[in-house]
Amino acid sequence: MNDIYLNYWNPLQNYFLPAFKLKEKIMIGAKIKKTYGRPQTPYQRLMDSIHITDEEKEKLSITKKETI
């Protein structure tokens, strides 16, 4: 089971399945209005991030190419 998660599910989840992330929550009376950002994969979020180096981004892109 660990092999399935490590080699199949994690790459699928991280590189190919987009997900919404919560942008903000606003209280309007007793209700909460939620606003979501556009759907992106975790890989796309990392590539857009300024918190990781270019070398790390290059390693991620190589790993993605190996996955395909």
For the ranges 1-5, 58-62, 63-67, the maximum mean pLDDT occurs at 58-62
For the cut 90, the answer to whether the pLDDT of residue 42 exceeds it is yes
Write down the pLDDT at residue 62: 94
For the cut 90, the answer to whether the pLDDT of residue 68 exceeds it is no
What is the phi/psi pair of residue 20, to 5°? -80, 145
Instruction: Give the span between the Cα atoms of 16 and 45, in whole angstroms.
Output: 12
- Residue owning tokens 């939620």: 34
Domain ranges of the chain: 2-67
pLDDT, one tens digit per residue, over 5-26 is 888 899 999 999 999 999 999 9
- Rounded mean pLDDT of 60-64? 93
Instruction: Give the span between the Cα atoms of 9 and 41, in whole angstroms.
Output: 14
Write down the pLDDT at residue 22: 96
* AA letter at 64: K
